[in-house]
Chain A
């Protein structure tokens, strides 16, 4: 089974999280911890780069929902970038594009803060 990895890179005041592998119910706690770490440091401008993510399930999307309120309440946002077609389809099916900003590339996402 494909593992899941998340890597945090700080670019100025924007935190970029690079996801790779499978984000499903099993690996969700890992991603949750990574986001929690970032938010604990009061870094509320977050871009999640999906370039190397092969799969996301509803539980994976749940993590975004779980944090977005706190992040926005602190004047930040979670923006998404570099979604593969397959990953985008899940976001689209569940109605996420109405709630989250989704960009083709990371640079663009960063520039929207």
Chain B
């Protein structure tokens, strides 16, 4: 296209083109045109710099060319050399007071240092790259190989060329800067995407290992690091929660735990430097410490080793990693709260089951027995205390009353109670004495439980028509019999609590239950009922109560009043144990 332009120009101006001089001038013009098109269509700085040196060198037989771009102040950086040692590339030269027009070094009289520099490189012609009257750079060439001086026309030509080049260079520089800006913008967007994505993802993860895993992927992908570990504060102690990479085996990570208290004053990421206070961290190859903050309190840290590309951590990335750490910390806290809630719900559920087991083990109704007023009640505590009472009718004449307190609470207590109940009912059907029954129950419980589980147990067999009774007390609170004359009998005979020794001999007690007598069986939930000052209700108050009300009230009214009295005593203070009462009056 350019040739045809040149061709048609020749055609049109045939007559005017007489001298070689003009012809040459035309060639130069067309070269300039060509170059300007070339340069302005390229945004590649390197190719522009190459062209503005190579085109003149080729046309004018110049053996050396140099290109410099102005940096700040009067510093010029050598960005391209042709025929000059490449060692000069990227070197900076200070050039003050460079004129706004081409200059010939050999004719330029001054003692500026840079003049000597160009002389040394055998550069003769220097041209400023002017863009909007501002010096953007300099190109320089050696003398011509044929030793002819530069003509005015040639200098004019090169001058025009450098003006065109200045524009192109400016464009290319702008473009590079834009590209750089674009890239850093893209990187910021990528960071934001990562934060957005992990935020979204973490909302669906409710366990700590899951959160830490997500955190580690985002960290590795975004920061190019695969050497790091995470420490979290758990029950006010620093614990290693995650570690990755060969630099940080568990033992190495644990060495850092002792630094954590000191580091918890951090409110932003810490780049580990050469300061002596960080020498411990530096020795362990930790380069960056990122506090994990929740509600202004540091509850964890990410310790990072070197990046995989060995580049130092960038100040700009710290903002990202800090945000990432805090997002993760919130999720970890949420996960903890959720686990706690689940655990609580599970316990609640377990207690409900235990409560319903206990409920089912207690007698469903009180048998009606002529001449006797019988009433039993159980008020389970929140934790389900493992109290048990039972009324088993053996035949027309005989009834067994029993009360027991299983050690422990909740499900284990309920299960053990269920064991006891099943054993008791089986044994009652056989013709064993109470001592034998108790002894066999002891063995059963001993076999089926660990030593720290045991049962206090009281069993009494009453002949309804004669009022004769026998009993065994295996470590239970002694029941009281209140006689009409206000005297009290304690039923103490028996032996050791059930479940702690394999073979225990139990002694039986005997007695006579007369008209007007009241038998009160109870569990330690009564005597150990506590007032807000931590005083026990105690046996003494039970006896006082018994003496005051025992003769006047029905068994049911007696039991209910006692519960009311206990409530008053406790004064709203939550009770830890079940309350169980079994009261029998002979009318």
Q: Cβ of B309 and Cβ of A62 under 8 Å apart?
A: no
Residue of A nearest to B191 (CB): A58
| Per-residue interface assignment for chain A, residues 1 to 45, with 1 indicating a CB less than 8 Å from any chain B CB and 0 otherwise | 000000000000000000000001110110010000000000000
Q: Which of B198, B245, B246, B309 contacts A59 (CB 8 A)?
A: B198
Q: Cβ of B221 and Cβ of A94 under 8 Å apart?
A: yes
**8 CB-based A-B contacts, threshold 8 Å:** A25-B214, A66-B216, A66-B226, A66-B244, A69-B226, A93-B190, A94-B221, A99-B308
Contacts of B244 in A (CB 8 A): 66
Contacts of B193 in A (CB 8 A): 57-58
Q: Cβ of A65 and Cβ of B214 under 8 Å apart?
A: no
* Known A57-B193, A59-B201; further 11 A-B contacts with Cβ < 8 A: A28-B214, A57-B221, A58-B194, A58-B217, A59-B197, A60-B217, A60-B221, A65-B225, A65-B226, A94-B190, A94-B222
Q: Would you give the shortest CB distance from B404 to chain A, in whole angstroms?
A: 52
Give the CA-CA distance A59 to B220 in the complex, in Å: 7
Q: Cβ of B309 and Cβ of A95 under 8 Å apart?
A: yes
Contacts of B246 in A (CB 8 A): 69, 73
B57 proximal to A (CB < 8 A):
no
Q: Cβ of B224 and Cβ of A94 under 8 Å apart?
A: yes
Q: Cβ of A25 and Cβ of B201 under 8 Å apart?
A: yes
B24 proximal to A (CB < 8 A):
no
Q: Which of A32, A58, A73 contacts B221 (CB 8 A)?
A: A58
Contacts of A90 in B (CB 8 A): 190
Q: Would you give the shortest CB distance from A93 to chain B, in whole angstroms?
A: 5
Q: How many residues of A contact B (CB 8 A)?
A: 27
Q: Cβ of A66 and Cβ of B217 under 8 Å apart?
A: yes
Q: Cβ of B226 and Cβ of A59 under 8 Å apart?
A: no
Q: Which of B204, B222, B309 contacts A98 (CB 8 A)?
A: B309
A63 proximal to B (CB < 8 A):
yes
| Per-residue interface assignment for chain A, residues 61 to 77, with 1 indicating a CB less than 8 Å from any chain B CB and 0 otherwise | 11111101100010000
Q: Cβ of A62 and Cβ of B221 under 8 Å apart?
A: yes
B14 proximal to A (CB < 8 A):
no
Known A-B contacts A58-B193, A59-B214; A25 and B200 likewise in contact (beta carbons under 8 Å): yes
Known A-B contacts A26-B201, A68-B226, A69-B246; A62 and B183 likewise in contact (beta carbons under 8 Å): no
Instruction: Classify the interface of chain A: helix, strand, loop or mixed.
Output: helix
Q: Cβ of A62 and Cβ of B201 under 8 Å apart?
A: no
| Interface size bracket, B side | 20 to 34
Residues of A within 8 A of B (CB): 24-26, 28-29, 32, 57-66, 68-69, 73, 89-90, 93-96, 98-99
| Per-residue interface assignment for chain B, residues 169 to 211, with 1 indicating a CB less than 8 Å from any chain A CB and 0 otherwise | 0000000000000010011001001100110110010000000
Q: Would you give the shortest CB distance from A35 to chain B, in whole angstroms?
A: 12
Q: Would you give the shortest CB distance from A71 to chain B, in whole angstroms?
A: 11
Residue of A nearest to B201 (CB): A25
Q: Would you give the shortest CB distance from B146 to chain A, in whole angstroms?
A: 48
Q: Would you give the shortest CB distance from B195 to chain A, in whole angstroms?
A: 9
Give the CA-CA distance A47 to B258 in the complex, in Å: 42
Q: Cβ of A95 and Cβ of B218 under 8 Å apart?
A: no
Contacts of A26 in B (CB 8 A): 201, 204
User: Which 8 pairs, one residue from A and one from B, show the smallest C-beta to C-beta distance?
Assistant: A62-B217, A62-B221, A61-B221, A62-B220, A65-B220, A58-B221, A25-B201, A59-B217
B219 proximal to A (CB < 8 A):
yes
Q: Cβ of B214 and Cβ of A95 under 8 Å apart?
A: no
B213 proximal to A (CB < 8 A):
yes
Known A-B contacts A68-B226, A99-B308; A93 and B217 likewise in contact (beta carbons under 8 Å): no
Q: Would you give the shortest CB distance from B80 to chain A, in whole angstroms?
A: 26
Contacts of B219 in A (CB 8 A): 62
Q: Cβ of A62 and Cβ of B198 under 8 Å apart?
A: no
Contacts of B216 in A (CB 8 A): 62, 66
Q: Cβ of A65 and Cβ of B190 under 8 Å apart?
A: no
Give the CA-CA distance A26 to B204 in the complex, in Å: 9
Known A-B contacts A25-B218, A98-B309; A65 and B224 likewise in contact (beta carbons under 8 Å): yes
Contacts of B224 in A (CB 8 A): 65, 94-96, 99
Residue of B nearest to A90 (CB): B190
Max chain A C-beta neighbours (<10 A), residue from B194, B200, B244, B245: B194
Known A-B contacts A65-B220, A94-B224; A57 and B213 likewise in contact (beta carbons under 8 Å): no
